[in-house]
């Protein structure tokens, strides 16, 4: 990997992200915990709709409607959502620092093999700024994947499953 501006592209970031993703077990477990948390979070909406239907039946005079069971399911899924959220937040924090540390070590070991002329041509402050920008871009990409893309896809998939299952 060259430390020039031209070699740090989106393709390089994504390639390095997925190579580090499969090396780091904390990140894989954190990603799986994030998927579970968002699935249980999506189920909360379903149980709220059941509670509303049961309350509507109860208020219409149907005293055989069991109101309490959906509340228990809602509390259970809320608790599991909270547990999985705490798990993936912790695992992602650990893994991102480990991955950033590994990237810094790998980049600086590569740079140390260059000659003195390389460092005089590239001002050390701007070189370090470019390297830290690369690591920050890596962290921003993982945050984008974990906190924006994954929840959107999970909620979309769960919603589509509910729509298809209740329409037939």
* pLDDT score of 1: 47
- Tell me the pLDDT tens digit for each residue of 117-133: 666 666 666 767 777 88
What value does the mean pLDDT take over residues 16-22? Answer: 74
Full set of structural domains in the chain with CATH: 5-167 (1.20.1560.10)
Q: Is the pLDDT of residue 4 over 60?
A: no
Residue by residue, DSSP assigns 86-112 as HHHHHHHHHHHHHHHHHHHHHHHHHHT
Q: Which two tokens stand for residue 34?
A: 């994030």
What value does the mean pLDDT take over residues 102-123? Answer: 72
* pLDDT score of 118: 66
Q: Is the pLDDT of residue 45 over 80?
A: yes
- Tell me the pLDDT tens digit for each residue of 23-40: 777 778 888 899 999 999
- Residue 18 vs residue 61, higher pLDDT: 61
In the chain, which ranges are continuous DSSP H helix?
10-23, 25-59, 68-111, 116-121, 124-144, 150-167
Q: How far is CA 81 from CA 16, 50, 133, 152, in A?
A: 30, 19, 34, 16
């Amino acid at each position: 990997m060259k430390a020039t501006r031209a070699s740090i592209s989106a393709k390089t970031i994504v390639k390095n992200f997925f190579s580090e993703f499969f090396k780091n077990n904390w990140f894989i477990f954190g990603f799986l915990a994030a998927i579970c948390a968002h699935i249980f979070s999506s189920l909360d909406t379903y149980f709220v709709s059941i509670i509303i239907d049961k309350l509507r039946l109860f208020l219409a005079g149907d005293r055989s409607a069991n109101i309490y069971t959906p509340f228990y399911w809602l509390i259970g899924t809320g608790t599991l959502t909270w547990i999985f959220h705490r798990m993936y937040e912790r695992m992602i924090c650990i893994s991102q620092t480990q991955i950033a540390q590994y990237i810094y070590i790998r980049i600086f070991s590569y740079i140390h093999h260059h000659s003195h002329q390389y460092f005089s041509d590239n001002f050390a402050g701007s070189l370090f700024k470019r390297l830290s920008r690369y690591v920050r871009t890596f962290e921003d990409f993982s945050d984008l994947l974990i906190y924006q893309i994954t929840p959107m896809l999970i909620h979309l998939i769960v919603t589509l499953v509910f729509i298809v299952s209740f329409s037939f």
